[in-house]
Chain A
Amino acid sequence: AQSVAQPEDQVNVAEGNPLTVKCTYSVSGNPYLFWYVQYPNRGLQFLLKYITGDNLVKGSYGFEAEFNKSQTSFHLKKPSALVSDSALYFCAVTFEDTGFQKLVFGTGTRLLVSP
Chain B
Amino acid sequence: GAGVSQSPRYKVAKRGQDVALRCDPISGHVSLFWYQQALGQGPEFLTYFQNEAQLDKSGLPSDRFFAERPEGSVSTLKIQRTQQEDSAVYLCASSSTTGAYTEAFFGQGTRLTVV
Q: Which residues of A are at the interface with B, using a C-beta cutoff of 8 A?
A: 4, 32, 34, 36, 41-46, 49, 51, 90, 92, 94, 98, 100-108
Min CB gap A71→B, angstroms: 21
Is there a chain A Cβ closer than 8 Å to B43's Cβ? yes
In this complex, how many residues of chain B approach chain A with their Cβ under 8 Å: the count is: 28
Nearest-neighbor residue (CB-CB) of B55 within chain A: A101
A92 to B45, CA, bound (A): 11
Main secondary structure of the interface of B (DSSP, over half): loop
Nearest-neighbor residue (CB-CB) of A107 within chain B: B42
Chain-A contact segment, one of B14-22, B61-69, B79-87, B100-108: B100-108
Known contacts A101-B31, A102-B45; decide if A51 and B103 are in contact (CB<8 Å): no
Q: Which residues of B contact A100 (CB under 8 A)?
A: 99-100
Q: Which 5 A-B pairs have the closest CB atoms?
A: A100-B100, A105-B42, A44-B106, A43-B106, A46-B103
